[in-house]
């Protein structure tokens, strides 16, 4: 069983185990999985307090697609000034989804790249920031499943890839942020008490955000299946 990708049912069991405050080893025994598989799954999908089975399933569907091959020549586009203006606008839009500014600049840089990929050095030069700054940004983006790391065919450096599903992954990240806000708001209602005005206000907002997040997840799943077919899970790479 080790090496086989987690199923939706297994992710639901992980969520149930976390809700029961079981540790990773106990959950892993229930699934007949290595403890490390469970711990990695939870860590990459928000941690114990934020883990949601359906959200984790959707995020995994969009993660680790076949790596695109960088082209030999990267074209800058017909109008460099227009491209630069677009990158600035896209960066601002990504910041509004909750991404830190440098991470948003990296995403915009990759979106505007003809190959959808750049090395860390190329991004540092393009964005006029240090290699350490790029390293922090790509670590965050990798953790959220928005970019992938691979080897550059022309050197021994790492290359960071952005494929056609990156836009959908950005939506998934936004839904995750909404779910975290919902969970925090509902927790606040419990702390203040449902009988108080503040508690009732928080409970109402939390329930609304929770239902909105669930609707967004279901809608994203439906549209994704419509685009790629019902066999998407069967072709999802191993986690």
pLDDT at 107: 87
- The domain ranges of the chain are 8-61, 80-161, 166-235
Beta-carbon contacts of 4 under 8 Å, excluding residues fewer than 6 positions away, are: 238
Please provide the distance, in angstroms rounded to a whole number, between the alpha carbons at the two ends of the chain: 13
- Nearest to residue 56, comparing CAs of 40, 67, 34, 68? 40
- Statement: residue 31 has pLDDT above 90: yes
The arithmetic mean of pLDDT across residues 189-215, rounded, is: 87
* Residue 153 pLDDT greater than 90, yes or no: no
Report the alpha-carbon distance of residue 147 to residue 170 in Å, rounded.
10
Which one is predicted more confidently, 110 or 232? Answer: 110
Please report, for residues 18, 64, 126, 142, 163, the alpha-carbon distance to residue 148 in angstroms, rounded to integers and kept in the order given: 28, 7, 19, 6, 9
Class of domain 80-161: mainly alpha
Which range in 3-7, 21-25, 233-237 is most confidently predicted, on average pLDDT? Answer: 21-25
What pLDDT is stored for residue 99 in this prediction? 82
Q: Which helix (H) or strand (E) holds 184?
A: helix 166-192
Q: What is the pLDDT of residue 96?
A: 79
């Amino acid at each position: 069983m080790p090496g086989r990708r987690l199923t939706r049912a297994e992710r639901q069991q992980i969520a149930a185990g976390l809700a029961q405050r079981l540790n990773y080893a106990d959950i892993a025994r229930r699934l007949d999985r290595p403890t490390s598989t469970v711990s990695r799954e939870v860590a990459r999908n928000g941690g114990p307090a934020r883990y949601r089975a359906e959200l984790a399933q959707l995020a995994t569907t969009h993660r680790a697609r076949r790596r695109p091959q960088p082209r030999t020549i990267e074209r800058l586009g017909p109008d460099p000034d227009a491209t630069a203006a677009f990158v600035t606008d896209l960066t601002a839009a990504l910041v509004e989804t909750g991404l830190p500014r440098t991470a948003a600049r990296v995403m915009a840089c990759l979106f505007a790249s003809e190959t959808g990929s750049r090395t860390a050095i190329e991004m540092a030069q393009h964005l006029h920031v240090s290699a350490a700054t790029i390293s922090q940004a790509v670590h965050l983006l990798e953790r959220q499943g928005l970019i992938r790391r691979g080897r550059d065919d022309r050197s021994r450096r790492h290359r960071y890839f952005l494929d056609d599903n990156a836009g959908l992954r950005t939506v998934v990240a936004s839904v995750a942020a909404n779910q975290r806000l919902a969970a925090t708001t509902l927790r606040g209602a419990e702390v203040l008490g449902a009988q108080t005005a503040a508690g009732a206000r928080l409970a109402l907002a939390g329930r609304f955000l929770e239902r909105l997040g669930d609707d967004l997840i279901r809608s994203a799943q439906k549209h994704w299946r419509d685009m790629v077919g019902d066999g998407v899970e069967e072709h999802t790479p191993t986690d």
